[in-house]
Each structure stands twice: as C-alpha cells, then as structure tokens.
C-alpha cells in the first residue's frame, strides 16, 4: 500500500490517493469526517480553522461503501481558496523568510524569491489529506481490534506526570478533553500556557504520545533495515511538519538505565501465550512487533510564524528585515496528534498487509486467524 497527497494550502482542494488498500472493507465517510473535525480543533488554533469545514469527498475506490481494491481517491475542498492553477491570482508577493518554516531552505532549493511558492505546499494544511488516509486505515485496523489513540503529554514547560496503562484509559480520559489531556489539571495547565503564549504574540510546541493496541507480534522484520517497524513508524512520524524528535518506548531513557532495569522480561501463560509485564520496548524489539502496545512519543516544535517576528532577510533586497507575519496558529499540538495517529495507522496497516496479504479482506482475515493459532 502507498499513498500520495496533492494540494496547496490555498489551492482549490487537498487530495489523497491510497493505492493497494484491500478489497472488501466497509468505509464510512462520517468516520473520516469526525477525524477531520478533530484535526481542526484544539486550543491555540488560528482563524483559518473558522473559515474551513473540512469534509471528505470519496471519489473512487468504493462501491456501496465497500472498497474494490482499486485506488481510493479522496478530496477536501478549501473554502479559503485563492490559487486557481489556470488563472493569475491576487496573492501579494512575500519576500521575507520566516525562521523555522520552509521559506528560506525552499526558496534556495528552487531559486525562488516569492515565498508564497514555497509555503503554499509546505503548510501543515497538507496533513488534512493524510488524516483521510489514516481514517480509512483505522477502519481496516478496527476489524482486527487494533486501535490507535494519543494524548498530549507536554505543552511548553508543562509536562504531565501521569502514567498510562493501556489504550482504553487514553480513549476514556481524553474523550471530553479539548486539549486531549489525561485529566483536568493537565488540561488547565496546558491551556493556560497556550493562552499566555497567544497574549505574548508567541507560539508553543509540545509532546504527543501515540499508542497502537492490540498489535499481533511479528509485524515488521529484523531481516533488513528498510523492513523494520520502528524505523517505518519513526520515519512516518518525523515526516509530519514541525516534528523534531521521535522516541519509541523508553526511548532516550534507555541510555541512562542499566540493562537489568530496562529490558522487558518474558513470561508465558496458556491462555494468553507469551507476554511481558513491562513495556520499555514500546511494543517493538529488533524492528518487529512483540504483541505489546506500540508506544511512540513525538516532540513538535513551536509554530514558525510569529506575530512578534524574529530577524530575517528580504530575499529580493538581501537587507535585514523582520520575518513575514501571516495568519497562523499559536499551537497546533492537538491537531498534530490526529496526524500522528494517522501516520501510525498507515504504517501499521502497511505492515498488516505485508504479513497477511493485501488483496482482499477475506484472505487477510483467514491468514491472520491461522497465524494467531501458531502463536500459543
Ligand atoms: C493549517 C492551515 C493554515 C495554518 C496552519 C495549518 O492556514 P493559513 O496559513 O491559511 O492560516 O493554520 O499552517 C501552519 C501552521 C504552517 O506553519 O504552515 C491547517 O489546515 O492545519
């Protein structure tokens, strides 16, 4: 399975094509729309989210709501469309690169002076298209009782100290939290920091923890570097705009603890097969899922566009100038958590299809059932 997105932030629409998705899976667009709505939400989102009402139009790949095995094309129309590919638009030229955005590196790469031609594609708006693909994959994974969920662990200097036991508790605790926080205190502290940053004309990043549960052991492979499940997940997560750090399981803490206190001992019980009592590995050992929940954490840097801009340089005059100030978010960590879930759902779906076949749901189901029998 593979997917490709297209679309500029202020173009007519965002599109995604998901190719290699199996035949026979019922897909409901309301489940995609509910993920899109969540991606638009969260404290710190900017004015654009009041203009848009992201909704998916499924264009191909399904008949009577069931996948055909053909490419699934999906589209989200932009309300704030300013670019018509066949006409001259009225976007004013922008020449001052914003530090930490794609503006300068992109302008140098493409020999460009007008950063509109860089930022339109580099904008995180593209991630709405990924959420459509992720929402389709979540519906496939749901057929195997595999769920993907996330919560916000840190905003700025406030870090939650709550310990999470399983994915059900994440889903239950974050259900009514606009901040996707684990409890009221976390939510209050996080929102307070975002409000303060807004008042200070600043921006804030944070840490998101993503869980995938239940995952069969044996997804991914230790046989070759590019088949490792942790490498795939880390790469997919790192591809999300503004992500600068990825950890699986105990991650960087492994470096400071001894082996005897780090590694997850192995147990066996007749009813549940092999299992671990701890999960420092984050559900992946040697690039292969071990049956425990997959746990990944990502660090998102603060939004690049600042209302109180940093020093920069005008790309036409090469003179010092404050960075361009354009409409933006104060924080988009909650939005990013939906994108992170989507990228994990896509990575895990690909791994399922690698292991159990990819043509039709019936064949995948039967291979899956037979494989599970071998595990105990
Ligand atoms: C986004 C839409 C954008 C920004 C944001 C993500 O809308 P606009 O640029 O028209 O205000 O809100 O983009 C960025 C944070 C960025 O740095 O590019 C969206 O739909 O998520």
- pLDDT tens digits for 134-166? 999 999 999 999 999 999 999 999 999 999 999
46 is written with which tokens? 């900017």
Token code pair at residue 249: 């399981």
Bridge partners, residue 83, by sequence = none
User: Model's pTM, two decimal places?
Assistant: 0.98
The residue whose CA has the least distance to atom 19 of ligand 1 is 125
Helix, strand, or coil (residue 71): coil
> For tokens 């729309």, what's the residue?
33
Is 194 in a helix, a strand, or coil? helix
Per-residue model confidence (pLDDT) at position 376: 84
Mean pLDDT score, 31-58: 97
In the chain, the percentage of residues whose pLDDT exceeds 90 is: 99
| C-alpha to C-alpha distance for 218 and 113, rounded to whole angstroms | 49
**What pLDDT does residue 311 have?**
98
Q: Is 62 helix (H, G, I), strand (E, B) or coil?
A: strand
Q: Which atom of ligand 1 is nearest to the CA of 332?
A: 15
Residue nearest to atom 12 of ligand 1 (CA): 328
Q: How far is the CA of 26 from the centre of ligand 1 (A)?
A: 32
d(CA 254, CA 283): 14
Q: Which residues line ligand 1 (CB under 6 A)?
A: 9, 46, 48, 80, 101, 123-125, 128, 303-305, 327-329, 332, 335
What is the Å distance from ligand 1's center to 175 Cα?
25
Cα distance between residue 280 and residue 188, in whole Å:
29
Q: Give the number of the atom of ligand 1 that is nearest the alpha carbon of residue 101.
A: 17
Cα of 124 vs centre of ligand 1, distance in Å, is: 6
CA proximity to 279, closest of 227, 345, 209: 209
Q: How many residues does the chain have?
A: 376
Q: What pLDDT was estimated at residue 42?
A: 97
Tokens coding 103: 């503006």
At residue 50's C-alpha, the angle toward residues 49 and 53, to 5°, is 75
Closest ligand 1 atom to the C-alpha of 242? 17
pLDDT tens figures, 181-236: 999 999 999 999 999 999 999 999 999 999 999 999 999 999 999 999 999 999 99
CA of 127 to the centre of ligand 1 (A): 10
Say which residues have a Cβ less than 8 Å from residue 15's Cβ, sequence separation at least 6: 5, 6, 7, 73, 74, 75, 76, 129
CA distance 7 to 34: 21
Using CA positions, which residue lies closest to atom 16 of ligand 1?
123
pLDDT mean over 172-186: 98
pLDDT of residue 121: 98
pLDDT level of residue 293 (50, 70, 90 thresholds): very high
Q: How far is the CA of 328 from the centre of ligand 1 (A)?
A: 6
Measured CA distances, 237 to 248, 341, 345, 351 (Å): 11, 9, 11, 15
| Residues in CB range of 333: below 8 A, 6 or more apart | 42, 44, 152, 155, 204, 205, 206, 208, 300
The whole-angstrom separation of Cα 146 and Cα 138 is 8
Confidence tier at 290 by pLDDT (50, 70, 90): very high
Closest CA to 356 of 32, 61, 22: 22
Judge whether 135 and 37 are in contact, CB under 8 Å.
Answer: no
Ligand 1 pocket mutation, candidates 49, 105, 124, criterion most atoms within 8 A of CB? 124
CA distances from 120 to 85, 107, 161, 183, 219 (A): 13, 12, 38, 37, 36
User: Stretch 247-252: mean pLDDT, rounded?
Assistant: 98
The CA–CA distances, whole Å, from 126 to 9, 192, 287, 293, 307 equal 7, 28, 29, 29, 22
Atom 20 in ligand 1: residue holding the nearest Cα: 125
CA gyration radius, the chain: 22
User: What pLDDT is attached to residue 32?
Assistant: 98
- Spacing, Cα 297 to ligand 1 middle (Å): 23
CA of 125 relative to ligand 1 center, distance in Å: 5
Query: In angstroms, what is the span from residue 345 Cα to ligand 1's centroid?
Result: 23
Q: Whose CA is nearest to atom 21 of ligand 1?
A: 125
Pocket-testing residue among 328, 330, 338, 340, ligand 1, by greatest number of atoms within 8 A of Cβ: 328
CATH 3.60.150.10 fits domain 2-375: yes
């Amino acid at each position: 399975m593979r997917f490709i997105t297209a679309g500029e932030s202020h173009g007519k629409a965002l599109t995604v094509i998901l190719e290699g998705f199996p035949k026979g899976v019922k897909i409901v667009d309301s489940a995609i729309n509910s993920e899109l709505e969540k991606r638009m939400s969260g404290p710190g989102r900017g004015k654009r989210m009041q203009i848009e009402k992201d909704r998916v139009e499924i264009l191909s790949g399904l008949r009577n709501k069931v996948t055909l095995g053909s490419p699934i094309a999906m589209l989200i129309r932009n309300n704030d469309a300013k670019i018509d590919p066949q006409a001259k638009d009225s976007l004013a030229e922008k020449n001052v690169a914003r530090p930490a955005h794609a503006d300068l590196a992109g302008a140098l790469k493409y020999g460009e002076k007008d950063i509109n031609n860089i930022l339109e594609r580099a904008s995180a708006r593209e991630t709405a298209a990924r959420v459509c693909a992720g929402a389709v994959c979540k519906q496939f994974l749901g057929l195997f009782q595999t769920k993907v969920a996330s919560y916000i662990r840190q905003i700025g200097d406030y870090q939650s100290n709550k310990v999470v036991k399983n994915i059900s508790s994440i889903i239950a605790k974050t259900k009514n939290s606009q901040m996707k926080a684990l409890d009221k205190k976390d939510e209050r502290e996080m929102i307070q920091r975002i409000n303060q940053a807004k008042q200070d004309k600043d921006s804030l990043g944070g840490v998101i923890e993503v869980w995938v549960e239940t995952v069969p052991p044996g997804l991914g492979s230790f046989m070759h570097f590019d088949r490792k499940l942790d490498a795939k997940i880390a790469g997919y997560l790192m591809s999300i705009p503004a992500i600068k750090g990825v950890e699986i399981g105990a991650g960087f803490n492994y470096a400071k603890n001894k082996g005897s206190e780090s590694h997850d001992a192995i147990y066996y019980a007749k009813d549940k097969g092999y299992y671990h009592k701890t999960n420092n590995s984050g559900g992946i050992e040697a690039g292969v899922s071990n049956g425990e929940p997959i746990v990944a954490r990502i660090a998102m840097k603060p939004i690049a566009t600042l209302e109180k801009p940093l020093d920069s340089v005008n790309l036409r005059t090469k003179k010092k100038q404050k960075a361009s100030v354009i409409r933006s978010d104060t924080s988009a960590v909650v939005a990013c958590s939906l994108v992170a879930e989507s990228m994990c759902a896509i990575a895990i779906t690909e791994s399922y299809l690698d292991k159990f076949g990819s043509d039709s749901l019936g064949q995948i189901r039967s291979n899956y059932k037979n494989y599970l029998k071998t595990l105990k």
